[in-house]
């Protein structure tokens, strides 16, 4: 990849207290970026070479103030990594609208709030990069993670459109789609309340969740995703989409486009033990 210099560039990383966001903030800081990392709780290990501030992406005023503080402190903002997010497990039938809304408030609307806060600044300067951290679950509807997949599909759709809208202003918009990655994501995943009591899905739900958790805890290191994000931020004209992680999982995203639908579905159902 061709490279742009990082020196002096200011980047906001949301969800920087843990996992991919933490790895990203650390690596970008080591690579010459001025990094402002945000989350609801402070990182357990103090940030090395970057600045942390509290910012809940569910709170529009907090996002607006947070972005304004960074621009005031650093004098500019060059890029944002919309990474804050969490997972929820449960059958679609066992997910209440309230639980779904709660998830979308962070995974989808959180990214929208941050995009809306940074875009006037990016447009005014005629430059800026937005990296939205999606998931391979944003390319494939994963059984018993249906609402998580839906939140990432929503992010994907918005990102595709946004990229075309802001291209004439010199703003770049990119999707990074990690496969299973070893982070706090597994421990932080919520289960829908009804999944604990509804017997109809119980056995298949437990089997699928076990598979999902094994894949995540045995998954790639968050530094691998961080390295990809660094490459994207240094690229003068990045693509719309980058997948990262286990080659089999990355292949699944491709297979989805080429295999007959029934065969693909059969494979996914066998894989997660939900047939
Ligand atoms: N791990 C995987 O296998 C995997 C695979 C594909 C995609 N992803 C995506 O990667 C991103 C990062 O996840 P991770 O794996 O690094 O998980 P993680 O270790 O649990 O980190 C999630 C981060 O998001 C922050 N966060 C959650 N809710 C927030 C809110 N309302 N406002 C601000 N920050 C919030 C958390 O901090 P606080 O709780 O302190 O706010 C934390 O810093 C997510 O978007 C996830 O969907 C993960």
> How confident is the model at residue 2, as a pLDDT?
54
Does the annotation mark 201 as catalytic?
A: no
Residue 162 CA to residue 168 CA, distance in Å, equals: 11
Residue 2 CA to residue 4 CA, distance in Å, equals: 7
> How confident is the model at residue 48, as a pLDDT?
87
**pLDDT tens column, 40-92:** 999 999 998 999 999 999 999 999 999 999 999 999 999 999 999 999 999 99
Residue 180 phi/psi, 5° resolution? -60, 130
How many whole angstroms from 173 Cα to the centroid of ligand 1?
Answer: 20
Contact 173, 166 (CB under 8 A): yes
**pLDDT tens column, 121-162:** 999 999 999 999 999 999 999 999 999 999 999 999 999 999
Catalytic residue among 17, 135, 149, 151: 17
* Average pLDDT in the chain: 96
In short, whether 185's Cβ falls inside 6 Å of ligand 1 is: yes
Is pLDDT of 11 > 70? yes
Q: State which CATH number among 3.90.550.10, 3.30.70.930, 2.40.30.170, 3.40.50.720 fits the domain covering 10-271.
A: 3.40.50.720
pTM of the shown model:
0.97
How many whole angstroms from 119 Cα to the centroid of ligand 1?
Answer: 22
In short, whether 85's Cβ falls inside 6 Å of ligand 1 is: yes
In short, whether 18's Cβ falls inside 6 Å of ligand 1 is: yes
Is pLDDT of 5 > 80? no
Q: What is the DSSP letter of 126?
A: T
Specify the residue with its C-alpha closest to ligand 1, atom 46.
Answer: 85
Q: What is the best residue among 13, 20, 54 to mutate for testing ligand 1's pocket, by most ligand atoms within 8 Å of CB?
A: 20
> How confident is the model at residue 143, as a pLDDT?
98
Write down the number of H helices and E strands in the chain: 10, 9
In short, whether 178's Cβ falls inside 6 Å of ligand 1 is: yes
Q: Where are the domains of the chain?
A: 10-271
Catalytic residue among 9, 18, 39, 134: 134
**Quick one: which atom of ligand 1 is closest to the CA of 41?**
40
How many whole angstroms from 116 Cα to the centroid of ligand 1?
Answer: 20
Does the annotation mark 148 as catalytic?
A: yes
């Amino acid at each position: 990849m061709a490279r742009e210099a990082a020196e002096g560039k200011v980047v906001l990383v949301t969800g920087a207290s843990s996992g991919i966001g933490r790895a990203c903030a650390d690596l970008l800081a080591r690579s010459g970026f001025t990094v402002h990392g945000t989350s609801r709780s402070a990182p357990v290990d103090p940030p090395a070479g970057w600045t942390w501030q509290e910012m809940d992406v569910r709170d529009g005023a907090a996002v607006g103030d947070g972005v304004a503080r960074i621009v005031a402190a650093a004098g500019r903002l060059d890029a944002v990594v919309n990474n804050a997010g969490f997972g929820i497990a449960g059958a679609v039938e066992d997910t209440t609208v309230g639980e779904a809304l709660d998830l979308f408030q962070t995974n989808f609307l959180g990214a929208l709030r941050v995009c809306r806060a940074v875009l006037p600044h990016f447009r005014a300067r005629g430059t800026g990069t937005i990296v939205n951290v999606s998931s391979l679950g944003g390319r494939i509807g994963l059984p018993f993670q249906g609402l998580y997949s839906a939140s990432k599909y929503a992010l994907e759709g918005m990102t595709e459109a946004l990229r075309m809208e802001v291209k004439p202003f010199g703003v770049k918009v990119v999707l990074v789609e990690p496969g299973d990655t070893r982070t706090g994501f597994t421990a932080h995943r919520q289960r829908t309340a009804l999944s604990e009591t509804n017997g109809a899905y119980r056995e298949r739900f437990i089997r699928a969740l076990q598979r999902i958790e094994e894949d995540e805890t045995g998954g790639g290191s968050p530094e691998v995703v961080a390295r990809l994000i660094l490459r994207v931020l240094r690229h003068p004209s990045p693509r719309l989409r980058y997948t990262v992680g286990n080659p089999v999982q990355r292949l699944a995203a491709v297979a989805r486009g080429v295999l007959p639908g029934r065969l693909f579905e059969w494979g996914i159902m066998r894989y997660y033990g939900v047939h």
